[in-house]
């Protein structure tokens, strides 16, 4: 892959976790530093696995390791939110806005269009993956600004569609790959997704970004629930004129 595709991939892969850690640093420095270090360590491990050919597609057997990486990292991040220190760091009312902002870096999804133009990816995968990521990336700062101002309008749909975008890309990438599970026979195949540098996107950036969406949805649900409960406890105010 050309150097500019490497650069775009690394901006997203490193930038999303790093930006999240930086935004959470004031709230919980230790949690921010620990999460950033762990994601960096996984990035190095995933790159070494890719260099060793672990993620490479095999036409004869199913190679599910990209899927295993996605599910594994997503599960680890979500389970980590149950740790008391992490839970406390994610308890503030400003957390949904902080978690939406890093999604802005998903505009680097344009790299899929560039890879398609180079004949490395099929349009079947590149078009939905690129435009889906770019749409979420463009919307992210506006959603974050609304949340900071106390309005969650559009935030739920933003997070749901962000997850759907990833799921669609993963499914197409898997079913258009050469192998026993191939359903879409296109040329080129999605072989490049199993190779450096693009493989770092589904194995590192995608599960982390999905985790941010899930955590945000949980926090938004909790915030709405607390507002409803508060309204019920407060009840209608008596009319002073009636007195």
* DSSP per-residue codes, the chain: --HHHHHHHHHHHHHHHHHHHHHHTTT-HHHHHHHHHHHHHHHHHHHHHHHTTTT---SSS---HHHHHHHHHHHHHHHHTTSHHHHHHT-STTHHHHHHGGGGGGGGGHHHHHHHHTTSS-HHHHHHHHHHHHHHHHHHHHHHHHHHTT--TTHHHHHHHHHHHHHHHHHHHHHTSSSTT-----SS-SGGGGSTTTTHIIIIIHHHHHHHHHHHHHHHHHHHHHHHHHHHHH-PPPPTTT-
Question: What number is the average pLDDT over the span 3-20?
Answer: 97
How many domains is the chain partitioned into structurally?
Answer: 1
Please indicate, yes or no, if residue 72 is contained in any of the structural domains.
Answer: yes
Whole-number pLDDT of residue 242: 46
- Structure confidence at residue 66 as a pLDDT band (50, 70, 90): very high
| pLDDT higher than threshold 50 for residue 114 | yes
Residue 233 lies in a domain: no
pLDDT score, position 235: 55
- Structural domain contains residue 235: no
Range of the domain at 52: 3-220
Q: Is residue 239 part of a domain?
A: no
Question: What is the pTM assigned to this prediction?
Answer: 0.90
């Amino acid at each position: 892959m050309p150097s500019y595709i490497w650069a775009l991939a690394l901006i997203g892969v490193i930038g999303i976790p790093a930006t999240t850690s930086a935004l959470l640093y004031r709230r919980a420095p230790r949690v921010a530093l620990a999460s950033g270090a762990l994601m960096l360590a996984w990035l190095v491990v995933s790159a070494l696995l890719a260099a060793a050919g672990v993620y490479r597609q095999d036409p004869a057997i199913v190679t599910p390791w990209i899927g295993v990486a996605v599910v594994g990292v997503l599960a680890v991040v979500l389970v980590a939110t149950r740790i008391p220190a992490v839970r406390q760091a994610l308890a503030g009312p400003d957390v949904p806005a902080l978690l939406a902002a890093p999604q802005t870096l998903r505009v680097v999804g344009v790299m899929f269009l560039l890879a398609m133009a180079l004949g490395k990816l099929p349009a079947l995968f590149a078009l939905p993956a690129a435009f889906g990521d770019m749409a979420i990336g463009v919307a992210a700062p506006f959603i974050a600004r609304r949340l900071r101002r106390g309005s969650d309008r559009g935030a739920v749909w933003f997070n749901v569609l962000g997850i759907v975008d990833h799921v669609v890309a993963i499914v197409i990438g898997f079913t258009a790959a050469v192998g026993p599970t191939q359903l879409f026979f296109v040329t080129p195949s999605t072989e490049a997704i199993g190779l450096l540098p693009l493989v770092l996107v589904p194995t590192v950036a995608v599960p982390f970004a999905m985790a941010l969406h899930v955590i945000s949805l949980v926090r938004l649900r909790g915030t709405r629930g607390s507002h409803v409960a508060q309204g019920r406890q407060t009840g209608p105010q008596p009319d002073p004129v009636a007195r």
